[in-house]
Structure 1
Amino acid sequence: MKKLLMYLLVSGACYGAMAQEESEQSDTSWKKMYRESAPKINDLVHTKLDAKFDYNKAYLNGKVWITLKPHFYSTDSLQLDAKGMTIQKVALSKGSATSPLKFEYDGMVLDIKLNKTYKAEEEYTIYIEYIAKPDEYTGKGSAAITDAKGLYFINPRGEEKDKPTQLWTQGETEGTSVWVPTIDRPNQKSTNEFSMTVPDKYVTLSNGKLTGQKKNADGTRTDTWKMELPHAPYLFFMGAGEFAVVKDSYKGKEVSYYVEKEYGPVARKIFGNTPEMMAFFSKLLGVEYPWAKYSQMVGRDFVSGAMENTTATLHQESAQQDARELIDGNSWEGTIAHELFHHWFGDLVTSESWSNLTVNESFANYSQVLWQEHKY
């Protein structure tokens, strides 16, 4: 009963805050404009990224190999979303060889002339060297997600004594294309392999499994994460910082919690119901949890409540509660259930247009009630 009462109180407070935000929001064009599924000329197949981070400048120095194929009709061109970047090189990649391609770039869209006309199902790989400059991008967020710069360096130069240095990404709705060129639409899906080079003292998190770690002579380390099931670009994720990593498991799959080190001893009190939630939702839906792992990270200064990046959910810092606070119950448990449930509705089955995003969210909202009913 206490749990239910707390849930109702929190829900009421959230509803009041949302109602106030809506009343203050002047732009109501979304109520009149239906954003249908984006036209598909090329399909993403695989995205391989080599990311090195410049913390002093808050830049990402990137090399990306993007494999695509024509969606249906033959095509000799490709348009990629690439917001606020410096594009250094665009080439066709075949094995270890590259050949330059002509391109035009207006600061938002990279328009590439391919070397020939490709037919449907004929794959090709584009290689791009670039610099992402998220702090210089001026795109606007929304009431639900307050910023749109995609990649966030938190206290990158260590100037704030009481704040850790972190980095994390937020793709929804179309912020991924601020830090990696892509077709940034929810009706695209891609597998991915991300290599992240960070100071050796940091741990990293991304989609899929950690498949390799290499220490470098300059005091950095390169971690490689591979995602073998396709998912939408807005669900691509990278995170890094000094975290305690507490591990559980579910049917042989890693379940892990990335929290600031002082919260390591209570991480399971916050997130420890996750394996049981995975079992409950798998049985309820008749579809076993489909992904390779499930990790949850808590990030400072997050621009939303939480985000269901595939296999790598990011929570705002309110998720971190100390032992004394947790005596009265876990105020973040509903959100934990919500983001996990998105791994079926949102990540596995994805709305093809942003105007249908309510389908993702309504199912995830319902999951919170289902979990409360099941557990309490």
Structure 2
Amino acid sequence: MSSRRRRTALLAVGSAVAAAALLTAPAVAVAAPGDPASPRYADGPEGAGDPYFPLAGNGGTDVLHYDLVLDYTPAPPEPAPLEGHLDGIATIDIVAMQDLDRFNLDLRGLTASSVVVNGLPVSFSQVDNELVISPRPKLKAGTQAQVVVTYVGTTIQPTDIEGALYGWVTTRDGAMVVSEPDGSATWFPSNDHPTDKATYSFEITVPEGLVAVANGLLTGSSTSDGKTTWTWDAPDPMAAYLATASVGDYVLNQYETPGGLPIIDAVDPSRPPSSSAALALTSDMIAFFEERFGPYPFVSYGAIVDDDSVGYALETQTRSFFSRNAREGTVAHELAHQWMGDQVSPYRWADIWLNEGWATYASWMWAEHRGGDTAQQSFDDVMAIPADDPDGFWDVIVADPSPLGLFVDPVYDRGAATLHALRLEIGDDAFFELAQTWVERFGGGTASTHDFIALAEEVSGQDLEAFFDAWVYTGEKPLSW
């Protein structure tokens, strides 16, 4: 992610959250007394155990695939309220990770009308952002199940804990769908945490003349009775916050890179050509980052450039989203996220510097490649910030920035500076071996700051405890390491 959430006046980021680092242990089925073979069914935890967002995600289940069938009507013209209408059917393939009496999905602001598990209607309830499902028969650990949720609701412009627009953001001509960190629950029932990645398919019906853009590959479109249905297939495992189903007056531009990777760009034609000119560099950028991070990890890439604005860009998987302008540095940043953040996602949201630091450092390297400031010059600019910076730049603990500090400048810039300092510490060969091994080893899943430090020490053969203590675990300017 880039742009709007990078505050110049930093929010208070006390480390009280650090005490919550002990993760919530999932409920475990226990054998009944006297009968070791008999399961004892329990409720799946209502969260994934992330201390920053305790209700995000769920325990007890592993989602394998989401099939989302959506029928959407955007908001009517002014002066009518800015509200759309969404009908959805989510078919969700899961595996029970414990003996389950009931389990949760995240769903917020929408109303489920029915839930079917393995073909049988089941009882359910909704509380806050939780859809609580009671399957009958109960689910034994290790068994697969198919959950079909039919739901409906009025879409609005939801906001995250910072008050920034996210999730299914209703517009007059469609919707901007950007869900970091926990906004997916505003448009489909989900296990809304990066630790539960799944594959996706989309069937999105919108008024004729509008285009619905999702992740992966466009597999078809058809029009009848004044509506167009767009189908997309996203076969690569994806965190829920990276899914999109943006709707607008887009023109699709489809081509292939010299290496044969399909590119699908969706650009609002009301924007001037200059707003998306940097997308022409996509093929060159992919080749540049492949040399540093390894092969591009997904079936396609592309961009969405919308005339409406949420005020930031987001690395929605395979189809980065840009509000109004796709500037070159931001295009490079969001593309680099496909490796660093999408393919390897944060284990807990406190690890977000590994997303934003890497993407920012990638944009530094791209700028140097293009004849701009070198990565060293960008690093020097960060180090020129005084230790007593009145905005508290150096006060942030990068590896634990707090829920309200996920998108502040130090996470991005001090994160990138950490990586450059590490490059200087261990040398180019080890540094780029680290980058590629990081993607190879943890790709398709998640990883933590602890994992990154361990891998850096493994690849470099160095003890880096003092280095990382100074750079990511200390709320002061690094002076020596």
Aligned amino acid, residue 70 of structure 1: A
> Sequence identity, in percent?
27
Flag as ranges the 4+ runs of structure 1 deviating above 6 A.
14-17
Offset at 1:136? 7.7
Per the alignment, in what secondary structure is the counterpart of residue 356 of structure 1?
Answer: helix
**Partner residue, 1:169:** 177
Aligned amino acid, residue 341 of structure 1: A
Offset at 1:375? 2.5
- The reply to whether residue 300 of structure 1 matches residue 307 of structure 2 is yes
> CA–CA distance in 1 between the matches of 2:12 and 2:308?
25
**Partner residue, 1:60:** 86
Aligned 8 A contact 2:174 2:246 in 1: yes
- The reply to whether residue 190 of structure 1 matches residue 198 of structure 2 is yes
- TM superposition score normalised by structure 2: 0.64
Offset at 1:169? 0.6
Per the alignment, in what secondary structure is the counterpart of residue 197 of structure 1?
Answer: strand
**Partner residue, 2:164:** 146
Aligned 8 A contact 2:103 2:132 in 1: yes
**Partner residue, 2:350:** 355
- The reply to whether residue 70 of structure 1 matches residue 96 of structure 2 is yes
Q: Structure 1 residues 30 and 318, CA, compared in 2 at 3 Å: closer, same or farther?
A: farther
**Partner residue, 2:232:** 225
Q: Structure 1 residues 16 and 146, CA, compared in 2 at 3 Å: closer, same or farther?
A: closer
**Partner residue, 2:298:** 291
Aligned 8 A contact 1:257 1:295 in 2: yes
Pick from 28, 50, 63 the counterpart of residue 44 of structure 1: 63
> Which structure 1 segments of 5+ residues have no match?
1-10, 156-164, 320-331
Aligned amino acid, residue 91 of structure 1: V
**Partner residue, 1:269:** 277
> CA–CA distance in 2 between the matches of 1:128 and 1:115?
15
**Partner residue, 2:262:** 254
Offset at 1:258? 2.0
Q: Deviations over 1:140-166 (max 9, x none)?
A: 442xx7124x111212xxxxxxxxx23
Q: Structure 1 residues 27 and 356, CA, compared in 2 at 3 Å: closer, same or farther?
A: closer
**Partner residue, 2:439:** none
Aligned amino acid, residue 358 of structure 1: W
Q: Structure 1 residues 347 and 118, CA, compared in 2 at 3 Å: closer, same or farther?
A: same
**Partner residue, 2:30:** none
Which aligned pairs between 1:3-42 and structure 2 lie closer than 5 A? 18-20=7-9, 22=10, 25=11, 32=18, 34=20, 36=23, 38-39=48-49, 40-42=59-61
Q: Structure 1 residues 30 and 179, CA, compared in 2 at 3 Å: closer, same or farther?
A: farther
Q: Structure 1 residues 252 and 91, CA, compared in 2 at 3 Å: closer, same or farther?
A: same
Offset at 1:105? 1.2
Aligned amino acid, residue 179 of structure 2: G
Per the alignment, in what secondary structure is the counterpart of residue 345 of structure 2?
Answer: coil
Which aligned pairs between 1:82-231 and structure 2 lie closer than 5 A? 82-93=107-118, 98-135=119-156, 140-142=160-162, 146-148=164-166, 150-155=167-172, 165-217=173-225, 219-231=226-238
Aligned 8 A contact 2:86 2:154 in 1: yes
**Partner residue, 1:80:** 105
> CA–CA distance in 2 between the matches of 1:281 and 1:356?
22
**Partner residue, 1:374:** 369
**Partner residue, 1:7:** none
Q: Deviations over 1:252-272 (max 9, x none)?
A: 222233222255755773211
Aligned amino acid, residue 72 of structure 2: F
> Which structure 2 segments of 5+ residues have no match?
25-47, 50-58, 76-82, 372-481
Q: Structure 1 residues 278 and 177, CA, compared in 2 at 3 Å: closer, same or farther?
A: same
> CA–CA distance in 2 between the matches of 1:208 and 1:318?
22
Aligned amino acid, residue 279 of structure 1: A
Aligned 8 A contact 2:65 2:94 in 1: yes
Q: Structure 1 residues 130 and 236, CA, compared in 2 at 3 Å: closer, same or farther?
A: same
Aligned 8 A contact 1:41 1:75 in 2: yes
Offset at 1:229? 1.1
Per the alignment, in what secondary structure is the counterpart of residue 346 of structure 2?
Answer: coil
Q: Structure 1 residues 114 and 277, CA, compared in 2 at 3 Å: closer, same or farther?
A: same
Aligned 8 A contact 1:64 1:129 in 2: yes
- The reply to whether residue 240 of structure 1 matches residue 239 of structure 2 is no
In the alignment of these two chains, the number of paired residues is: 329
Pick from 316, 322, 333 the counterpart of residue 328 of structure 2: 333
Aligned 8 A contact 1:245 1:264 in 2: no
Offset at 1:30? 6.9
Q: Considering only aligned residues, what root-mean-square deviation do their CA atoms show, in Å?
A: 2.5
Offset at 1:346? 0.8
Q: Deviations over 1:85-117 (max 9, x none)?
A: 111111114xxxx32101121141011111233
Aligned 8 A contact 1:246 1:267 in 2: no
Offset at 1:221? 0.9
> CA–CA distance in 2 between the matches of 1:363 and 1:30?
26
Aligned 8 A contact 2:4 2:311 in 1: no
**Partner residue, 1:326:** none
- TM superposition score normalised by structure 1: 0.80
Q: Structure 1 residues 16 and 91, CA, compared in 2 at 3 Å: closer, same or farther?
A: closer
Q: Structure 1 residues 175 and 33, CA, compared in 2 at 3 Å: closer, same or farther?
A: farther
